[in-house]
Amino acid sequence: QMQTPAIVVSGVSSGVGKTTVAVGLMRALRDAGLRVQPFKVGPDFLDPMQHDAACGVPSVNLDGWMLGRAACLESYAAACTASHADIAVVEGVMGLHDGLDGASDVGSTAQMAKWLGVPVVLVLDAWCLSRSAAAMVLGYSLFDPDVLLGGVVFNKVGAASHSEWLRQGMLSHEGTAKIRILGSLPTNSRIHVAERHLGLHRPTHDDSSGEVADRLSTLSLLIQSSIDLDALLDLARAQAATATAHRKAHMLPVPPRNITPSKGHTLHDTPRIRIGVAHDAAFCFYYADNLRLLEAAGAVLVMFSPLHDAQLPCVDALIIGGGYPELYAETLSKNTSMRASVCQFSAQGKLIWAECGGLMYLSRSLLVLPEHTGAGENQGASSNALQHTATTATHCNTLQ
């Protein structure tokens, strides 16, 4: 699957509709019968959840600053191979050239597009633009000539005359006349995804399955009617062979993972480590590759729910990731049997890896303020209940 065609969807900045276009393309291509492998540039938990809902396979994060080139390329190849992808769609982060600092492309979407060797589809919010949009596209096409700008999508376009003015602007300069306009998207309130303090709503927890299905269906139809998918696929396929050779030239061989049998065992009968992973509406911030690598190293991952399960499964270690425990503080607090089970697990000296919301869950108490309750999302609890102090993990310090 190394020759999987791919595109990178980037924006001129945050807030221009990059995620809407990326998720819409993912769903429209899936609806066309293609196996789509989604990716997200940089550290992000919420956008990949939208990808998962659209594609039906886990989205993989490609973080150039954290992982480096070789690891990103290995993750990319592994995900495309595992999903037997017909096409990969990579959603960028912030604006195309925004990254670690202003002096380099480290951590940026541009860096990742160059590492992968695939074309960029640039998204612009054209609501208040006409010919000026072409000037912006020209700047992005010239700023880094090593970035392959394959086409543009104009978002929030008004009447047909607005779309025509944008097209005329692109044709009015030789530097932009050769850049393909892949489509113009009109404004549609039915595809809007609500936001909260950490980003977009989660498709599988904050909205009903019917709402998610309706929004994705509407978005897919909008993309199909507004964007030239055949041209986009031609763009990705035309670059696939060159991109493959480019990546192969910079990939490092994956070192073998040597698993040493425990004393008295052979490799064949060595028991596999079982790791419990908290996974529910309260704890859902995980990177797919972290879990994949644990399984590749021989671990058995056992999912459990601090919200709904009465006690821990039979495991050797725990991972409690981030999420929104503050939205479910009352339910977590009332699940005393699970809290006691976690406390006993800790008292036995077993390993617990907790981060962000997971670390909050292991605290003695959690004071939930009204502004962090989600305004009605916390299971319909009253405002008084939302301000309670929710004792979470234990009355002992599980972090010791």
Hey, which residues are catalytic here?
356
Which residues, at least 6 apart from 203, have a Cβ–Cβ distance to it below 8 Å?
Answer: 49, 50, 52, 53, 212
Q: Are 184 and 157 in contact (CB under 8 A)?
A: yes
Q: Residue 230, Cα to own-chain centre: how many angstroms?
A: 25
Compute the distance between CA of residue 80 and CA of residue 245 in angstroms, rounded to an integer: 16
Tell the burial category of 192 from Cβ atoms under 10 Å away from its Cβ (0-12, 13-18, 19+): exposed
No. of H helices and E strands in the chain? 14, 17
Q: Residue 308, Cα to own-chain centre: how many angstroms?
A: 26
Q: Are 248 and 70 in contact (CB under 8 A)?
A: no
Q: Are 391 and 365 in contact (CB under 8 A)?
A: yes
* Dihedral angle sign, alpha carbons of residues 181, 187, 191, 195: positive
Which residues, at least 6 apart from 348, have a Cβ–Cβ distance to it below 8 Å?
Answer: none
Q: Both tokens of residue 146? A: 């090593």
Going from the C-alpha of 144 to that of each of 96, 264, 294, the distances in angstroms are: 10, 59, 37
Going through 21-119 in order, the beta strands assigned E by DSSP cover: 36-41, 60-62, 87-95
Q: Are 97 and 41 in contact (CB under 8 A)?
A: no
Counting every residue, how long is the chain? 400
